[in-house]
Amino acid sequence: MAELNELILEQLLWIIGGLALLTVILLIVSIAQGAKLRKFKRKYEAMMAGSGVEDLESLLINLKIQMDSIEDEHKLQTNQLQTALQKLARIQGKVGVKRYNAYGERGSDLSFSIAMINESQDGMILTGLFNRDGSYVYAKPLKGGESTYTLSPEEKEAITLAQQAE
């Protein structure tokens, strides 16, 4: 034991010097960390200024609630847009008109065929035949650009004109 005490006494100066050096190093690290912490605190206070909340947790919760609300509104608008697009595709917005003289007698082109179709070529064709004795109007359904009823050449031309319409 005496030898151990003697060894410690011989190295005591080195041990105290090492501990002092370690203390100085730890003091420098502590000062550097304090400076970083003060810088972080200034940034945090600048970020929280004007937010109307006391802490970061409340701010994040408010932002999450707002984000959920925005996502819900986006889903609602997406559904409304899809519904509107589906309805728009069914609208018979393409129209083709063919005027002609149905009976070849004197007069002008007072007979007509009007094709009204949508993007799927579904719709109807309306034909009006005019002569001196009277006029007649016929309607024929269209599915895929075709009808279950026989179509006249003028009606087929009206369908072609409607298909070319933008």
From 90, 117, 145, the end of a domain falls on 90
Indicate if 78 and 132 belong to the same structural domain: no
Beta carbons of 71 and 141 less than 8 angstroms apart: no
Indicate if 98 and 157 belong to the same structural domain: yes
pTM: 0.52
101 against 47, higher pLDDT: 101
From 40, 61, 90, the end of a domain falls on 90
Indicate if 156 and 130 belong to the same structural domain: yes
Indicate if 68 and 126 belong to the same structural domain: no
- What average pLDDT does the chain have? 88
Indicate if 57 and 108 belong to the same structural domain: no
Task: Dump pLDDT digits (tens) for 122-132.
Answer: 999 999 998 87
Indicate if 83 and 32 belong to the same structural domain: no
Residue-level pLDDT at 149? 93
Indicate if 104 and 160 belong to the same structural domain: yes
SS (H, E, C) 56-98: HHHHHHHHHHHHHHHHHHHHHHHHHHHHHHHHHHHCCCEEEEE
From 90, 114, 139, the end of a domain falls on 90
- Number of separate domains in the chain: 3
Residue 47's pLDDT band (cuts 50, 70, 90): confident
Task: Dump pLDDT digits (tens) for 64-118.
Answer: 999 999 999 999 999 999 999 888 877 768 899 999 888 776 667 889 999 999 8
Beta carbons of 94 and 118 less than 8 angstroms apart: yes
Residue 137's pLDDT band (cuts 50, 70, 90): very high
Beta carbons of 129 and 111 less than 8 angstroms apart: yes
Indicate if 98 and 85 belong to the same structural domain: no
Using DSSP, state whether 127 is helix, strand or coil.
strand
Containing domain of residue 84, as a range? 53-90
Indicate if 40 and 60 belong to the same structural domain: no
Q: What integer is the mean pLDDT of 14-25?
A: 93
Indicate if 28 and 64 belong to the same structural domain: no
Residue-level pLDDT at 62? 86
Residue-level pLDDT at 105? 67
Indicate if 111 and 143 belong to the same structural domain: yes
The C-alpha atoms of residue 110 and residue 49 are separated, in whole angstroms, by 77
CB-based contacts of 138-146 (< 8 A; 24+ apart in sequence): 142/115, 142/117, 144/120, 145/117, 145/121
Residue-level pLDDT at 152? 92
